[in-house]
């Protein structure tokens, strides 16, 4: 196999622009951000595949047709199990086995922060399987496929792309329909070989300090998207995408060319557009954005809305400190942000995860 053990890490994500629009053919800009989460892999002498989470263990046998799990896959293991199973099917070998432990995603008062925990899990699990099995597949493409498969084909995949690539990425939704069909009916390896590259590129780090403020409530992206798509016509979606793409272009230019007026203008347009989808409105997000404006900062919701949080852009570090202090003083969890590297191997062993195996 060539490795006894390995530690990996991957960042979370924050949408800067393109929420909803990316589902309908538009472009999203997404930042990979701290905190990172880790996975620790250890080789085995048998064909057993073992996933260890804070919630417990899931074991199975490695086969050319995937992992033969010893029982039903619990929800907590769904994204990691789907990714590892798919990797084994693509490689098509009987083993070798391996154990992999995954660090839990950070929570605030029991709430997910909206930083893409399932996408990060899919990326880490896919790369863990590639390392353990000495595979040569495209980790990003397989992570996109397993993540979509684990949630019934839903989602844009932007969170997966950002966690894999790191920095700030410009991303257009990857069409997985043919691959999902092959995954269920056969012929996946050939279809993967023939598939087009993922449309993702790094665009450079923002020149302005950023803050993330959590609303105090986790949002259900799936239910929000379902409700909105049920009532928007094709023309309404097209107009939404046009406005979102135009404002996203302005935001990117402002963040890269030190033009804060452009950042303010783009945030105002993007937020107005998102709130034209009434389901996305949330009182805490309105409060956060109002507070940011009092300190000369600009912000918008990050993600589907209805909770989760907002990303705030500040003209300088003083404004960043003031927003963080003001939000925290009001019971709103806020922390400074910077873009982070993508998926990577770590030099040091993650000692806590190693003890789980």
16-67 pLDDT, tens digit each? 999 999 999 999 999 999 889 999 999 999 999 999 999 899 999 999 999 9
pLDDT at 115 over 80: no
Tokens of 270: 């993007």
pLDDT at 118 over 80: yes
pTM, full prediction: 0.94
For residues 251 and 260, what is the distance between their CA atoms, to the nearest angstrom?
9
Higher pLDDT, 1 or 151: 151
Same domain flag for 331 and 344: no
Rounded to an integer, the average pLDDT of 160-189 is 94
Question: What CATH number is attached to the domain comprising 37?
Answer: 3.30.230.10
Same domain flag for 52 and 177: yes
Same domain flag for 161 and 95: yes
Question: Tell me, what's the pLDDT at 35?
Answer: 87
- The helix or strand, by DSSP H or E, that contains position 71, with its residue range, turns out to be none
Residue 111 confidence class, pLDDT cut points 50, 70, 90 = low
Sign of CA dihedral 231, 235, 237, 243: negative
Same domain flag for 53 and 90: yes
Same domain flag for 95 and 243: no
Asked which of 202-206, 226-230, 258-262 is least confident by mean pLDDT, the reply is: 226-230
Peptide bond preceding 92 in cis form (omega within 30 of 0): no
For residues 291 and 259, what is the distance between their CA atoms, to the nearest angstrom?
21
Same domain flag for 293 and 168: no
As for how many domains the chain has, the answer is 2
Same domain flag for 90 and 79: yes
Domain residues for 49?
A: 5-203+340-356
Question: Tell me, what's the pLDDT at 1?
Answer: 44
Same domain flag for 146 and 219: no
pLDDT at 78 over 70: yes
pLDDT at 306 over 80: no
Residue 225 confidence class, pLDDT cut points 50, 70, 90 = confident
Residue 278 confidence class, pLDDT cut points 50, 70, 90 = confident
Distances (CA, A) of 178 to 76, 144, 154, 185: 27, 13, 14, 10
Sign of CA dihedral 21, 23, 26, 27: positive
pLDDT at 2 over 60: no
Same domain flag for 179 and 75: yes
For residues 290 and 1, what is the distance between their CA atoms, to the nearest angstrom?
55
Buried b (16+ CB within 10 A) or exposed e, 72-83: ebeebbbbbbbb
Q: What letter does residue 166 receive in the DSSP assignment?
A: B
For residues 95 and 111, what is the distance between their CA atoms, to the nearest angstrom?
37
Tokens of 68: 């033969």
pLDDT at 243 over 70: yes
Beta-sheet pairing, 309-313 with 168-172? unpaired
Question: What CATH number is attached to the domain comprising 279?
Answer: 3.30.70.890
Same domain flag for 88 and 161: yes
Same domain flag for 199 and 233: no
Same domain flag for 127 and 230: no
Coil, helix or strand for 341? strand
Beta-sheet pairing, 107-108 with 111-112? antiparallel
* Residues paired with 110 in a beta bridge: none
Tokens of 153: 């084909």
Mean pLDDT of the chain: 92
Neighbours of 166 (CB within 10 A): 20
pLDDT at 143 over 70: yes
Buried b (16+ CB within 10 A) or exposed e, 222-255: eebbebbeeebeeeebeebbebbbebbbbbbebb
């Amino acid at each position: 196999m060539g490795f006894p053990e390995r530690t990996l890490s991957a960042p979370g994500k924050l949408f800067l622009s393109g929420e909803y629009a990316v589902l309908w053919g538009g472009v999203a800009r997404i930042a990979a951000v701290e905190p990172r989460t880790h996975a620790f892999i250890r080789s085995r002498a048998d064909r057993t595949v073992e996933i260890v989470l804070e919630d417990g263990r899931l074991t199975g046998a490695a086969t050319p047709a995937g992992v033969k799990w010893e029982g039903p896959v619990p929800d907590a293991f769904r994204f990691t199990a789907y990714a590892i199973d798919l990797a084994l099917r693509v490689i098509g070998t009987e083993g070798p086995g391996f154990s992999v432990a995954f660090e839990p995603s950070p929570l605030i008062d029991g709430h997910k922060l909206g930083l893409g925990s399932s996408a990060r899990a899919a990326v880490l699990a896919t790369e863990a399987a590639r390392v353990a099995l000495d595979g040569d597949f495209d980790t990003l493409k397989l992570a996109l496929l397993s993540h979509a498969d684990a949630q019934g084909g839903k989602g844009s995949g932007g969170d997966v792309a950002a966690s894999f690539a790191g920095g700030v990425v410009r991303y257009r939704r990857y069409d997985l329909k043919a691959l999902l069909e092959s995954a269920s009916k056969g012929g996946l390896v050939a279809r993967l070989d023939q598939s087009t590259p993922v449309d993702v590129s790094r665009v450079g780090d923002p020149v302005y300090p950023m803050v993330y403020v959590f609303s105090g409530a986790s949002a259900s992206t799936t239910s929000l998207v379902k409700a909105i798509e049920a009532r928007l016509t094709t023309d309404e979606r097209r107009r939404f995408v046009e406005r979102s793409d135009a404002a996203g272009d302005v935001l990117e230019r402002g963040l890269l060319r030190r033009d804060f007026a452009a950042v303010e203008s783009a945030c105002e347009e993007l937020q107005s557009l998102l709130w034209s989808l009434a389901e996305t409105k949330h009182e805490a997000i309105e409060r956060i954005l109002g507070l940011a404006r009092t300190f000369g900062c600009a912000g918008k919701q990050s993600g589907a809305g209805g909770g989760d949080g907002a990303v705030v852009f500040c003209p300088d570090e003083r404004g960043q400190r003031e927003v963080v202090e003001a939000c925290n003083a009001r019971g709103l969890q806020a922390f400074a942000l910077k873009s982070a590297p993508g998926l990577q191997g770590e030099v040091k062993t993650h000692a806590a995860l190693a003890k789980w195996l």
